[in-house]
Chain A
Amino acid sequence: QVQLQESGPGLVKPSETLSLTCTVSGYSISSGYYWGWIRQPPGKGLEWIGGIFHSGSTYYNPSLKSRVTISVDTSKNQFSLKLNSVTAADTAVYYCAREPYDILTGYSSPFDIWGQGTMVTVSS
Chain B
Amino acid sequence: EIVLTQSPATLSLSPGERATLSCRASQSVSIYLAWYQQKPGQAPRLLIYDASNRDTGIPARFSGSGSGTDFTLTISSLEPEDFAVYYCQQRSNWPRTWTFGQGTKVEMK
Contact = CB atoms under 8 A, between A and B. Distances in A.
A38 to B, nearest CB: 8
Contacts of B1: 62
Given A110-B46, A114-B43, A47 B34 contact: no
Contacts of B50: 109
A36 B55 CA distance: 19
Given A45-B103, A114-B43, A117-B43, A108 B97 contact: no
Interface residues of A, number: 19
B91 A46 contact: no
Interface of A: 36, 45-48, 59, 61-62, 95, 97, 108-112, 114-117
A110 B91 contact: yes
Contacts of A61: 97
A5 to B, nearest CB: 11
Given A45-B87, A112-B55, A95 B43 contact: yes
Contacts of A45: 87, 100-103
